[in-house]
A and B are shown apart, each in its own frame.
Chain A
């Protein structure tokens, strides 16, 4: 079993689908023409890009494929949207975002604060759900932008995007709405029109395309100044010769995401729920960090009390099981995850929090294997914890609850 990889870290990155690779290969081999060239040889490349753009448009249900810009990654999509829009329209200096955004978004706002912007960071409750009242009160006539992630990468908790959009438009019609949708593409249906989104970013490698390709939806009413200046590519919004093979790849991945959406929302969810139940039933010091919050179907974040996450991951890794942790020790940052801290996850379990994220390639056998092996790993680590008395009390409490 040691040679086998059980990959339950799909919110970090995903396996490239074979069909995606096949779609890409011709453009890495014989079809290498620059899509902007004027001869017949470039026709296939330029068609591949047009086709991929159409598939991303379908995935997001955008009104027009002209609203899709290809980028190199999720971070570039977010940077292009946020900084591109604020550079174009400098009239308003107030921004609203959340405390639980991904660093690729959060650090952009930290930088903008230094440039004179006022940024409000909206908090979450202990389940990781956004405080919509706080958001509502924060919006004023000077608010240029509201920026909210659709689902959180660590907890999988979904934010009510459509409702947030309505709140924004009811308070200030000119305020733009950017959504970091990196963690929802391929997991739940996305409809930028009905959700009332102005800008939305996705990343290819989170839904079985390779790393190095992303996309940005920018609705036709939202103007921006490009970050990368140069040629006329992407309608002047993102210079640089088009990355044809990767664009073809993300297009195929989008098509497959649409095809597999039902499977993701039923089968993947069933396996996630099974894993969650299996862990909670067999391990007394496990707790779901998100309570009953509405989540993407593939993610669960479970805290193991009085033990530390990196050690759990190392023992799992010895069995070929890949997951990730919000523990300070895994990041090198010395502080536990900003998301779990914003949720006020108790210190007894914040350092022992493990994120499990499945994909359509996860099998039932893999989930069964984890459910079988995890209790003895947790038990071993728990036995060396200095908090034996606290653990004993916890165990007794859990047992009396079960009876």
Chain B
């Protein structure tokens, strides 16, 4: 018998905001029938980016229903930006805690919300992580670690980061990864080790402070890349830098140019790689 809090019991006995919303502004799902739990969340968002209504449908156990139910209560009335900051830990905390083996239910709530907001764009909002994901679909983070439950490296790292997880067992409780055949347990351990010890590449970057790193990248763009593009009537603007990924916007002639991507990949990336190392990647922001 699980030790559920009064709040968990209240929410699975009397779930709030059950159902769907026609013409929802954002819809997100997480989980699957095969895995034994699925959550679908519907959001209504007004012109001020405030979530005015939220509804859910859940196939799952008591804690899955309670997590979904309380999540809808947590987000109604909040702005999209506030909602984006909600983590699985917040959901579990709001319920007064969940048994360790059931933490994955709160993660499912977080994932459904993330999925819903991924499909929703407020005016002028640019989700850098998403653009990066789209641009580098084969990247390391999308690698499936647990094939039984289709858990990606990103999901595992997110759970480690948010909940300060230290062991494979904890990762299994939060993400289900490793909970079936168990063959991926060694890989999960590697992800944990990598997260806490950092890779060698990250270490070299750590020698510079984030500001120093940005200045260094910007310096190369200004002195080596921008002047070259200007010769063709275009220019490049640095939008953001996240670790080794550089987000840039093209201006002028280049932006409409069919070959802009090629220009970027071949010229900007090569120049940056030559100056900063081979692990640099460049992402175009429209």
Are A385 and B58 within 8 A (Cβ)?
yes
The one of A310, A347, A384 in contact with B61, judged by C-beta atoms closer than 8 angstroms, is: A310
Tally of A interface residues using CB under 8 Å = 27
B132 within 8 A of A: no
A23 within 8 A of B: no
B195 within 8 A of A: no
The answer for the CA separation of A42 and B124 in the assembled complex, in Å, is: 90
Report, nearest first, the 3 A-B pairs whose CB atoms are least far apart: A334-B179, A329-B61, A310-B61
Are B176 and A334 within 8 A (Cβ)?
yes
Classify the secondary structure of B's interface with A.
Answer: mixed
Are A329 and B38 within 8 A (Cβ)?
no
Say how far A330's CB is from chain B's closest CB, in angstroms. Answer: 8
* Residues of the A chain whose Cβ atoms lie less than 8 Å from the Cβ of B149: 334
**For the side of the interface on B, what is the size category?**
20 to 34
A142 within 8 A of B: no
Q: Would you list which residues of chain A between 165 and 218 have a CB under 8 Å from chain B?
A: none
* Residues of the B chain whose Cβ atoms lie less than 8 Å from the Cβ of A333: 179
B64 within 8 A of A: yes
Are B12 and A386 within 8 A (Cβ)?
no
A88 within 8 A of B: no
Are B176 and A308 within 8 A (Cβ)?
no
A243 within 8 A of B: no
Knowing A334-B179, A335-B180, A383-B18, the reply to whether A308 touches B13 (Cβ < 8 A) is: no
Knowing A336-B36, A347-B33, the reply to whether A386 touches B101 (Cβ < 8 A) is: no
Knowing A335-B180, A384-B18, the reply to whether A314 touches B57 (Cβ < 8 A) is: no
Knowing A311-B12, A334-B179, the reply to whether A387 touches B58 (Cβ < 8 A) is: no
**Per-position 1/0 for A330-359, Cβ under 8 A of B:** 101111100000000001100100000000
Knowing A335-B180, A347-B33, the reply to whether A386 touches B38 (Cβ < 8 A) is: yes
The one of A330, A347, A386, A388 in contact with B34, judged by C-beta atoms closer than 8 angstroms, is: A347
Are B179 and A335 within 8 A (Cβ)?
yes
With A308-B59, A336-B36 given, can you name 11 additional A-B contacts, CB distance below 8 Å? Answer: A314-B12, A318-B13, A328-B36, A329-B60, A329-B61, A332-B101, A334-B36, A334-B180, A347-B33, A348-B33, A388-B57
* Residues of the A chain whose Cβ atoms lie less than 8 Å from the Cβ of B38: 386
The one of B29, B36, B65, B180 in contact with A384, judged by C-beta atoms closer than 8 angstroms, is: B65
A306 within 8 A of B: yes
Say how far B40's CB is from chain A's closest CB, in angstroms. Answer: 4
* Residues of the A chain whose Cβ atoms lie less than 8 Å from the Cβ of B18: 383-384
B62 within 8 A of A: yes
The answer for the CA separation of A309 and B18 in the assembled complex, in Å, is: 19
The one of A314, A327, A383, A385 in contact with B36, judged by C-beta atoms closer than 8 angstroms, is: A327
B37 within 8 A of A: yes
**Per-position 1/0 for A313-331, Cβ under 8 A of B:** 0110010000000011110
Q: Which residue of chain A lies nearest to B177 when distances are taken between CB atoms in the complex? A: A334
B88 within 8 A of A: no
The answer for the CA separation of A332 and B172 in the assembled complex, in Å, is: 11
**Per-position 1/0 for A94-121, Cβ under 8 A of B:** 0000000000000000000000000000
